[in-house]
Amino acid sequence: KLGFRIEVDGGITAQNVGDAIAAGADTIVAGTAFFKNPSSLKSAMGI
């Protein structure tokens, strides 16, 4: 464990959110993707 959180912000899409999580991201910021297509991103994140 690193002792700090990893946040990914910028360029997150339904197609790459899984990669960010698999790489160890603790926090995902997906502003534009969410507002453009919220159901797609929610589905990709399993929420």
**pLDDT number for residue 22:** 96
User: Distance (Å, rounded) from C-alpha 2 to C-alpha 15?
Assistant: 26
pLDDT in tens, 1-47: 779 999 999 988 888 989 999 999 999 987 887 777 767 767 666 76
* Number of domains the chain is built from: 1
pTM score of the predicted model: 0.66
- For 37, phi then psi, to 5°, come to -155, 75
- What ranges make up the beta strands (E) of the chain? 7-9, 27-29
Q: Residue 25: which domain range?
A: 7-45
Note whether residue 32 is domain-resident. Answer: yes
- Of 21, 27, 23, 22, residue with least CA distance to 4: 27
